[in-house]
Chain A
Amino acid sequence: MTAPLHHVIIGSGSAGYGAAMTLRGEDADCMITMVTIDALPFYNRYDLPGVFRGHHDWRKLLAVPPARYDELGIKLRRSSRVVDVDGERQTISLAHQEDVAYDRLLVCAGGRSYLAENLIDSVGLMHGFGSFEAAMRVYRALPKGGTAIIIGGDMIGIDLALTLLDTGYRVVLIANQQTFWPHVVEPVERKRLLKALENKGMTIFADERPVGVLDTRNKKFSRAVALESGTEITGDVVMSFCGLSSSVEFMLGAGVDIERGILVNPELRTTNETIWAAGDICQIWHDKEKIYKFYHGWKNVRVMGELAARNMSGSHEIFDVEVEDRLDIDDDGNLRSTFWTR
């Protein structure tokens, strides 16, 4: 009898969660370990703007009750950061000084909010929105009817901004090249979309470059964003939504090819045959265009996770999702995207 395989998944987002569930379906006996920095079991991040609609109990956000992981024999290792992967020894190293051996590794570490270099020094004065905890902090920092300043305004930010307007807050958007990311929007269309947002009630600064965030706690508003033009915009919280950069640092010694993300073939396998990658972290080879492409949005990501899991279990399916890049915002502020869906 051969020992059951140990599948290790790094990350417990949409891709990692979808993969774990699929793996268990494919192989009842394998060992599955999910390692994640998160403190909570998987929930859909796209539900996070709901904190402004009173959804403050994270238990209600969870995709499955926590006990389900035990029932399915999926070991969930939370609050654990992977700092290194040794593709030859087939081990991952955790920050708390533990190595975990794997037979097959799936990397679903996603990405983190990209921050422009000139704002890095201001990071302590800004809020993130990538986790339940971060979302709740924004909720607590914003007084009723207060003002959120959004720099950039990728799709995550736009979705949040619309929720904020709907729930009685003010939003100032400092638009830039990343506005509407991951959609690629032509300048004319961009203007139209920004106008639609303005009609919805957003204050828009279209061609301004922020140079720093100021702590103005003792004044009427606790934050200000200084623009290159010399203007200062005041508000209660400042958030940067300028797209994602893949969380690949810990993969640098793994012996896999990395560009902006981890490079995988259409089967989502990396250049190391025991390592796969899925989700926001990976760039998938597009045979027709002859380039590696990111596919964002939770639906794509989920498909990737499940597909990688099946391939780790012996299949050879390929990721051939083709989505047109189309975005529209109607007069009521409703977003319609071809891949950024609810």
Chain B
Amino acid sequence: MTKDMNNTDIQIAICGSAGDGTIASGDIMKRAAALMGYNVIAFDLYPPEIRGFGKCISRIRISSEQTYSLKRESDIFISLNDNHAIPHVGEVRDYGAVVFEDSLIARVPEGRHISAHIKPAQVPYAFSIRQISEQATNSARSRNIVVLGFIAGLYDMPARVFHRVIAAKFATKPQIVIDDNTKAFDAGMRAGGAVFKLDDVAVGKPRDYSNGSDAVMMTGNEAIVRGFLEAGIGSYFGYPITPATSIMERLAVEIPRRGGQFLQTEDEIAAIAATIGAAYAGSRAATATSGPGLALMSEMLGLGVMAEVPLVVVVSQRGGPSTGLPTKTEQSDLNLAVYGGSGDARRIVLAPTNVEGCYRCAGMAFEIAETYQTPVILLIDLYLSNRYETVIPSEENTFAPKPRLRPEIAKGDIYKRFELTYNHISPRALPGEEGLMHTITGLEHNEQGRPNDAIHSVMSIKRHEKLNSATRFPGLTVCKRFGDEGPVDVGILGWGSTFGEILETMFEAQAEGIRCSAMKVVMLSPLPMDEIVAFFDDCREILVPELNYEGQFANLISGAVGRPVTRLSHVTGSPMVIAEILAEVRRLAGSATPKQKALGS
């Protein structure tokens, strides 16, 4: 079969049961691929249940070019547990590979072996995974590593890279663990090397091998931590909740090392209260939570808005409402993030669309919060929190705090913390600064911060209008258009993690000859209206795919622009499906009237 050695774009899916080491082998695969110099996007699905029950799937896209989401079909599929794998084997493309166990120890009921479900156009590779693991290590535990070796052997990947990753992965374990897993890998590799390759999956060389050393692979949560650290985060207070917990776990190590404040509080209310306190005191302070935590924090968030305190709140969404689907993804907290809480509490909401965006938004979030003296919410979701991508971080740290201008007041004057100014932003003093004593409160207040309800309408204007220029914040991408310029048939408008699938769909639609553009909106509050309206003007149809039932972003946008959009909701707990978006794009593109088509508008 033909094989383009120069271009690699493959997706590997590994499916097993919790306890099979599925996620670990996916982790080794993606780290090895990144080390080889490929671009990597990876996402794991795992169950909330304890070991031995639920299904785990690790999907890894490896490419020599820039890619934006997982592919809609996998090229290689590995089953470590047929029960879990059977419903997913259909995701493998024609002439792709399905790797599975051929020597089970327990009998399986009729039809419950994966060989009964492999499609005639898929290529089966059956081999004795367990036996090979046992022969190499005296235990079946390394089955997950044997299959990696098999893949490396079959597709001629360099063993030394895997050896390095295995050694790093098990570095904290006794040497025998590293040795055994290396042996298991090598044995699997011999088996893979001995098999005749029948599939047409082409693994070429990475485009530029030297890039590998520059690129760092990280998850959205890790990127946020990195951005925060580069921005000089001084305080973090949080309460654990999936999928945000890993942010806290990392900062629990890093912040104290840098002399900052870290505390796991008793709940989310305490977490945000402490964050507000630290931010008020001048520390770069943040907390991270998920939808249920944000619901608890919403009253305190109002205090942040009212008292004009610059804090950062990361919200990683999961399926809701209530406890909902704690380990599945969803984009259904947009309303809560943008509007949630009492009163008119306008705040800044940033929704990065990929891991690099998480890093940049996190890096800039404190400066934005400090500039506008208000809470900034970083709104992501489980898919972005846990998704791995290769990122090229900035060479210089551009996120470090800039010197703050101390308010200048004439001798004898009274410092007005909430002074009314031309741009509605008041000079900010920190508590304890000499001559700048002031009050802050959750009550409506006058310029000095003293309770006063007569000035409510003026102060409401201040708190709202001061954010208007945020959409032009220097260096921040608040929205961006991709694809065809000028008038198009279909414009796809997206936000957050879904945008990768939107972009990939746009490329597929363009390849089919559909005139198509896509726009990502990163700043959800305030909205970059000029760009959005211009996009609407160019698009005959606007499609808004998102991971919630109501179309929360669609409502936000069409309400703001005053024009209808087509909604595409996907609420399965898993990421948006390219095929679904593409079907909708095709339908909308096909609905152009002959006259419109003739006019090319």
Contacts and interface: CB of A to CB of B under 8 A. Distances in A.
Interface of A: 39-41, 56-59, 65-70, 75-80, 94-101, 132-133, 136-137
B103 interface: yes
Nearest to B114: A96
B121 interface: yes
Given A40-B198, A98-B113, A57 B1 contact: yes
Nearest to A91: B110
Contacts of B2: 57
Given A97-B103, A98-B116, A133-B196, 11 more contacts: A41-B120, A57-B2, A59-B1, A66-B120, A66-B121, A78-B115, A79-B125, A95-B103, A97-B105, A136-B196, A137-B196
Contact of B110 (A69, A70, A101): A101
A96 B121 contact: no
Nearest to B121: A66
Contacts of A57: 1-2
Contact of A76 (B105, B107, B120): B120
Interface string B343-373: 0000000000000000000000000000000
Going nearest first, the 6 A-B pairs with the smallest beta carbon separation are A66-B120, A66-B121, A133-B196, A79-B126, A79-B124, A69-B120
B112 interface: yes
A84 to B, nearest CB: 13
A98 B107 contact: yes
B198 A58 contact: yes
Given A57-B1, A69-B120, A99 B110 contact: yes
Given A77-B116, A78-B115, A98 B110 contact: yes
Interface string B85-129: 000000000110000011111111110110110111101111000
Given A58-B198, A79-B124, A79-B126, A97 B106 contact: yes
A77 B115 contact: yes
A64 B108 CA distance: 31
A67 B1 CA distance: 19
18 contacts: A40-B198, A57-B1, A69-B120, A70-B120, A78-B124, A79-B102, A94-B115, A96-B102, A96-B104, A96-B108, A96-B113, A96-B126, A97-B106, A97-B108, A98-B107, A98-B112, A133-B198, A137-B196
Contact of A94 (B106, B113, B121): B113
B196 A97 contact: no
* Chain B contact residues, majority secondary structure: loop
A263 B361 CA distance: 76
B198 A39 contact: yes
Contacts of A65: 121
A168 to B, nearest CB: 23
A101 B108 CA distance: 13
A132 B196 CA distance: 10
A41 B118 CA distance: 12
Given A67-B120, A67-B121, A97 B115 contact: no
B196 A100 contact: no
A90 B385 CA distance: 53
A131 B196 CA distance: 11
Contacts of A95: 102-103
A96 B126 CA distance: 10
A76 B106 CA distance: 23
A69 B104 CA distance: 27
Nearest to B98: A79
A79 B110 contact: no
Max chain A Cβ within 10 angstroms of own Cβ: one of B108, B119, B124: B124
Nearest to B120: A66
Contacts of A137: 196
Contacts of B104: 96-97
A97 B115 CA distance: 12
B339 to A, nearest CB: 49
Contacts of B107: 97-99
Contacts of B102: 79, 95-96
A74 to B, nearest CB: 9
B73 to A, nearest CB: 15
Max chain B Cβ within 10 angstroms of own Cβ: one of A39, A58, A101: A39
A63 to B, nearest CB: 12
Contacts of A67: 120-121
A132 B125 CA distance: 15
A89 to B, nearest CB: 12
Contacts of A56: 1
Contacts of A77: 115-116
B39 to A, nearest CB: 29
Given A96-B101, A97-B107, A39 B125 contact: yes
Contacts of A58: 1, 198
Contacts of B106: 97
Nearest to B124: A79
A98 B120 contact: no
Interface string B64-79: 0000000000000000
A77 B102 CA distance: 13
Contact of B119 (A70, A79, A94, A132): A70
A41 B102 CA distance: 19
Nearest to A56: B1
A39 B120 contact: no
B122 to A, nearest CB: 8
Interface string B442-457: 0000000000000000
A39 B123 contact: yes
